[in-house]
Amino acid sequence: MSPAARRARRLVPVLLIVLVWLCLGGILGPFAGRLGEVATNDQAAFLPRSAESTEVIEEQKAFKQRESLPVIVVWTAEDGGTVASRRGEATRALATLTDAPGLAGRASPAVLSSDKEALRGVVPLRPDLGDSLSPTLDRVREAADRVPGTTVRLAGPAATQADLSDAFSGIDGLLLGVALITVLVILLLVYRSVLLPLLIILGAVFALGVACAIVYVLADHGVVRVDGQVQGILSILVIGAATDYALLLTARFREELGAREDRFAAARAALRRSWSTIAASAATVALGLLALLLSDLTNNRALGPVGAVGIVCAVLSTLTFLPAVLALLGRAAFWPAKPKAHRERETANGSGKDTASDSGQDSGQGSGQGSGQGSGPDSRQDSGSGSRQEEGGVGGQGLWPRVAGLVDRAPRRVWAFTLVALLACAAFAPTLSSKGVPLDETFVNDAPSVAAQQTLGQHFPGGSGNPAVIIAEADRYEEVLAAARDTRGVDSAAGVSDSGRPGGKPQEVDGRVRIDATLAGPADGEAAQNTVARLREAVHAVPDADALVGGYTAQRYDTLRTAEHDRTLIVPVVLAIILVILMGLLRSLVMPVLLVATVALSFLATLGVSSLVFTHVFGFTGTDPSVPLYGFVFLVALGVDYNIFLMSRAREETLRFGVRQGVLRALVATGGVITSAGVVLAATFAALGVIPLAFLVQVAFIVAFGVLLDTLAVRSLLVPALVRDAGPRAWWPARFGGSAEREDRTHP
């Protein structure tokens, strides 16, 4: 076969792969901006499946007054005085909404506050309005504005949901744009190359387009539910993971270009030596996310398969599209900082000695030379550094040889100091409250529904317009009603009539009645949740009443209890999954336990620091109950990723040079690329902070800080020092034998 035919034979499959991805990107790319079409921000759709409040929603459907999304209209005088004379006008204004589109029933009459400074009316809206919610609220406000001399505010679940929708509006473009610009700037600074960062980002965008198309179809067919939070996390996860995997592959490709002239051979060798590590890293994240399917919370279960789809698409793009374009471009991909082959560098240095490998050389030799030089994108060592490492280890200039030298000289002091620092931070982890975020902290910026709720609470009982809903047997109505009224924290309770209003003879449907109980405390507060717990205990104690307690506060209470149960169940499952993957990859029992233990400690340290920052910097009094679970799944899975990158390289080097040299060489070789990957991933998750919701700001900080802590402390200092100090025992029961063991015996 002629040389031209051989080149064509290698070129055709590479071009085909690139063409397929270009087609996929062109056809499926627009889906990255269309997930909002199938997303829902109706929080009731994400309740625990087995919760009592969920059962109440189902039973409410049997009543004429079916499940509704109430908006509470609050009038106060413009001059701050009394509004008692405006009560009739307010009632008539709401009455004009009868039969208006979007309403689930008639509005209540206006109620005067005890201080006579505010009026309150409740308008029930359909919970399935979707994009029609904001126009419906505008109609309610327009009607309420007909009361002269008053200021109108809209509070309640409907107003809160509208503010949530506004917070997530434009999430596709805004979040994706911020994340991509952040990654591009970092990659330009790291690689000092123009083309390579664009190629990496293009591969990440292709992966995101395919992932969003798959999720779009699944959500459109009701297989998964997607809300703004899941939508935002998917974008960040795919961009961050695809970039991380790409950094690892391109670093190995750069090494191989230093060992051979043939760019196709270099791409094959880089892929052969990287794919198992990248696949194992992706598996830890994907399977860790799939463990969320064990959750009883629908949004957690949705994030599991959605996130796993994103990770699979990211790894497919990295292992197919990126090697293909690197093979096509070769050294030109790194322009203007093109890596030179060893022959070129030796000639440039004046030695004239030919040390380069030809294109057919075994890739193992390339790895040996590359590991001596350092594979990080910031590596600038000359060819002499490779020979110095062959002779004695990790000599040479630069940050990572110095770090490796420190670990080599004083491993016990390094890991002891790092361990103490992490334990000191972890000591604050128990202070992180996960009992939910009150409404006034849900939004990072000012939200109209928050101000309205505060005004409502100043003049009416905290639970006004947002009652606890009790469904019970009709023949036990009086006993259940009495039990509800006698419950501490309940301001009032009454049966709901055929008109949907409390008071009078209760409506009976299939032998069941509904009772509304107004709580004294704010409906989103901890005091109200405690009242719900007492209320359930009281009505459950009524014989043969089969009473159930639901409503907004009960939903928050059930979500909190379920999240606590999920953490207890899912955390050990994720740890077990990661342990099994690490054991298979590293062929060791001790090393996987060591890696998981260090990452778990890093997570606890991150929670400790987060508790201090949330309280004293951001002013949060607590976190959403799902925040610690999300933080754990992302941090442990992603943190283990960096240890996988390090220790898989360490095992490769240990087979040739022993445990001591293996871990030190791996630290030097992977230092630049892993640090770059950590910075990219931290910055990508930090982009979630552009969405003004406490939940996403908290997740963004925990993951971003935790990734940096893993990268800079756990992977760079703690793990290498522990392995260096433990020696061959760290790899038990694996034995490397031969010259590797002799080398370790001569360097205790």
* CATH number of the structural domain spanning residue 690: 1.20.1640
Which of 141, 165, 189 terminates a domain? The answer is: 165
Highest mean pLDDT among 64-78, 164-178, 478-492: 478-492
Say if residue 606 is in the same domain as residue 743: yes
pLDDT value, residue 6: 66
CB atoms within 10 A of CB 431: 13
pLDDT value, residue 473: 92
User: Could you tell me if residue 696 is inside a domain?
Assistant: yes
Task: Tell me the pLDDT tens digit for each residue of 576-612.
Answer: 988 988 888 888 899 899 988 998 899 999 999 999 9
User: Could you tell me if residue 438 is inside a domain?
Assistant: no
Q: What is the average per-residue pLDDT within 516-528?
A: 84
For the record, the structure tokens of 644 come out as: 């996988």
Say if residue 523 is in the same domain as residue 613: no
CB atoms within 10 A of CB 62: 12
Side chain identity, residue 410: A
Q: Mean pLDDT score of the chain, rounded to an integer?
A: 81
Say if residue 183 is in the same domain as residue 226: yes
Highest mean pLDDT among 2-6, 96-100, 371-375, 510-514: 510-514
User: Could you tell me if residue 642 is inside a domain?
Assistant: yes
User: Could you tell me if residue 364 is inside a domain?
Assistant: no
Task: Tell me the pLDDT tens digit for each residue of 666-719.
Answer: 899 888 888 888 888 888 888 888 878 888 889 889 999 999 998 889 989 999
User: Could you tell me if residue 117 is inside a domain?
Assistant: yes
Q: Is the dihedral of CA 413, 417, 420, 422 positive or negative?
A: negative
User: Could you tell me if residue 2 is inside a domain?
Assistant: yes
pLDDT value, residue 582: 86
pLDDT value, residue 50: 79
User: Could you tell me if residue 151 is inside a domain?
Assistant: yes
Say if residue 628 is in the same domain as residue 682: yes
Residue spans of alpha helices (H) in 514-625: 526-540, 552-586, 590-613
CB atoms within 10 A of CB 26: 11
Beta bridge partners of 70: 124
Say if residue 185 is in the same domain as residue 294: yes
Backbone angles phi, psi at 121, to 5 degrees: -135, 150
Say if residue 729 is in the same domain as residue 591: yes
Q: Count of alpha carbons within 13 Å of 735, Cβ hemisphere only?
A: 3
Please say if the pLDDT value at position 343 is more than 80. Answer: no
Say if residue 216 is in the same domain as residue 271: yes
Question: Which percentage of the chain shows pLDDT scores above 70?
Answer: 85
Backbone angles phi, psi at 123, to 5 degrees: -115, 115
User: Could you tell me if residue 357 is inside a domain?
Assistant: no
Say if residue 463 is in the same domain as residue 505: yes
Local confidence band at 131 (pLDDT 50, 70, 90 cut-offs): confident
Contacts of residue 149, Cβ cutoff 8 Å, sequence gap at least 6: 77, 78, 79, 86
Are 607 and 701 spatial neighbours (Cβ–Cβ below 8 Å)?
Answer: no
Please say if the pLDDT value at position 248 is more than 70. Answer: yes
Say if residue 626 is in the same domain as residue 693: yes
* Region of poorest pLDDT, from 74-78, 235-239, 470-474, 736-740: 736-740
Say if residue 218 is in the same domain as residue 302: yes
Which of 111, 143, 165 terminates a domain? The answer is: 165
For the record, the structure tokens of 627 come out as: 């925040």
Residue in the structure block whose two tokens are 């290698």: 10
Task: Tell me the pLDDT tens digit for each residue of 102-117.
Answer: 887 788 888 888 888 9
Are 466 and 523 spatial neighbours (Cβ–Cβ below 8 Å)?
Answer: yes
pLDDT value, residue 324: 92
* CATH number of the structural domain spanning residue 183: 1.20.1640.10
For residues 500 and 487, the model is more confident at 487
CB atoms within 10 A of CB 235: 25
Please say if the pLDDT value at position 489 is more than 60. Answer: yes
Residue spans of alpha helices (H) in 108-194: 133-144, 157-168, 171-191
Count the domains in the chain. Answer: 4
* CATH number of the structural domain spanning residue 89: 3.30.70.1320
pLDDT value, residue 742: 47
Which of 285, 306, 334 terminates a domain? The answer is: 334
CB atoms within 10 A of CB 81: 11
For residues 399 and 748, the model is more confident at 399
Task: Report which of 310, 229, 234, 326 is spatially closest to residue 271, judged by C-alpha positions.
Answer: 326
Cα 649 to Cα 163, 375, 654, distances in angstroms: 49, 11, 8
705-234-242-623 Cα dihedral, nearest 10 degrees: 10
Range of the domain at 519: 451-557
Task: Tell me the pLDDT tens digit for each residue of 441-461.
Answer: 777 777 888 888 888 888 888
Q: What is the average per-residue pLDDT within 267-283?
A: 89
DSSP at 356: -
For residues 658 and 502, the model is more confident at 658
pLDDT value, residue 350: 42
Say if residue 591 is in the same domain as residue 634: yes
Local confidence band at 426 (pLDDT 50, 70, 90 cut-offs): very high
Task: Tell me the pLDDT tens digit for each residue of 347-406.
Answer: 444 444 433 333 333 333 333 333 333 334 444 333 333 333 433 445 556 788 999 999
* CATH number of the structural domain spanning residue 498: 3.30.70
Say if residue 611 is in the same domain as residue 536: no
For residues 113 and 36, the model is more confident at 113
Task: Report which of 714, 633, 7 is spatially closest to residue 311, judged by C-alpha positions.
Answer: 633
pLDDT value, residue 2: 59
Residue spans of alpha helices (H) in 29-130: 52-60, 87-95
Backbone angles phi, psi at 224, to 5 degrees: -130, 155
For residues 743 and 438, the model is more confident at 438
pLDDT value, residue 486: 93
Cα 485 to Cα 474, 491, 520, 587, distances in angstroms: 17, 8, 12, 64
